[in-house]
Amino acid sequence: MSTITATATKPGARRAVAHTLAVTSGKGGVGKTFVTANLAAALAARGERVLVLDADLGLANLDVVLNLYPKITLHDVFTDKATLEDAILPAPGGFFVLLAGSGLVEYSRLTPEVRDKLLQIIDQVKPRFDWVLLDTGAGISDVVLFAISLAEQVLVVATPEPTSMTDAYATIKVLATQQERRHIGLLVNQVQQLGEGKTVRNQLQQVVQRFVDVGLPQPVKLELLGEVRSDNAVRESVRRRQLLMEVYPGSEAAQAIRALAAKLCE
């Protein structure tokens, strides 16, 4: 398949290996997959070659968000029924996806086979893209932690809801202590008013300083990479199962996602 090279490319020097970014959240339902898909579209619009890997193997829903009905999924690659080449599909928004397919419950436990396959796949796709985004599952199971450990950067998506903040904090804590992460990006989704993102970030940073930094050789730095206000455009695009960047590119939320993409490319 030649689709991979057919994507819009920007002239100039390319990285030899893709940036890898894991998008995670702790709690589910905070818009993690929404952010991942639209961020991928925003990066693609900047001329970056982007692959989204659906690392939410147990309960994947990137296909639902993108309204794709893939014939070939990661499962086929894992079982050697299809090549990796065939499983990398073009998605709306100008990026590529490797979908897990919904309900592959057999991968909700990390076995050495799944682990090796994922490692192989990451190594194979890295030289061919500028960005590989890993959409991880909710929670902090071993699958999620393993998927995150494959990426050099982490973006935690949280909302100002107490349960989301608690789970985001738990995720940050585990990443700092178990994976030596000292720099973690934060996107605050579904804020009521602008500025709330900064409040959430400061709260989290404060508790991290008090309870997590103690005993670590270097403190953990949380960087607020953006905030997205919940608006009708977001709700409408999600309901229609289309990318916000495509249906409401001028909306405030779309601008916020573009700003996030710009920040990541700095």
Residues at the contact surface with another protein, assessed by CB under 8 A:
110-112, 115, 140, 142, 145-146, 148-149, 160, 162, 165-166, 169-170, 173-174, 177-180, 199-200, 202-204, 206-207, 210-211, 215, 217
Closer by beta carbon to another protein, 115 or else 126: 115
Question: Least separation, in Å, of the C-beta of 124 and another protein?
Answer: 18
Pick 87 or 148: Cβ nearer another protein? 148
Closer residue to another protein in complex, CB, 83/149: 149
Rounded to the nearest whole angstrom, what is the least distance from the CB of residue 178 to another protein in the complex?
4
Among candidate residues 169, 265, 266, 185, the one with its CA nearest the CA of residue 225: 185
> Which DSSP string corresponds to the chain?
--HHHHS---SS---SS-EEEEEE-SSSSSSHHHHHHHHHHHHHHTT--EEEEE---SS--HHHHHT---SS-HHHHHTTSS-HHHHEEEETTTEEEE---TT-GGGSS--HHHHHHHHHHHHHHGGG-SEEEEE--SS--HHHHHHHHT-SEEEEEE-SSHHHHHHHHHHHHHHHHHS---EEEEEEEEESSTTHHHHHHHHHHHHIIIIISTT-SS--EEEEEEEEE--HHHHHHHHTT--HHHH-TTSHHHHHHHHHHHHHH-
Q: For another protein, which is the closer residue by CB, 9 or 211?
A: 211
Question: Shortest Cβ distance from residue 151 to another protein (Å)?
Answer: 11
Give the nearest distance from C-beta 22 to another protein in angstroms.
12
| 32 in Cβ contact with 164 (< 8 Å) | no
- Minimum CB separation from another protein for residue 133, in Å? 19
To the nearest whole angstrom, how small is the minimum distance from the Cβ of residue 111 to another protein?
Answer: 8
Find tokens 């495509």 and name the residue: 246
Q: Which is nearer to another protein, 11 or 162 (CB)?
A: 162
* Smaller CB separation from another protein, 210 or 239: 210
* Shortest distance (Å) from residue 148 CB to another protein: 8
Least Å distance between CB 54 and another protein? Answer: 18
Residue among 93 and 160 whose Cβ is closer to another protein? 160
Q: How far apart are CA 159 and CA 245, in angstroms?
A: 20
**Do 88 and 49 contact (CB within 8 A), yes or no?**
no
In the chain, how long is the greatest CA-to-CA distance?
A: 52
Kindly tell me which of 207 and 247 has the beta carbon lying closer to another protein.
207
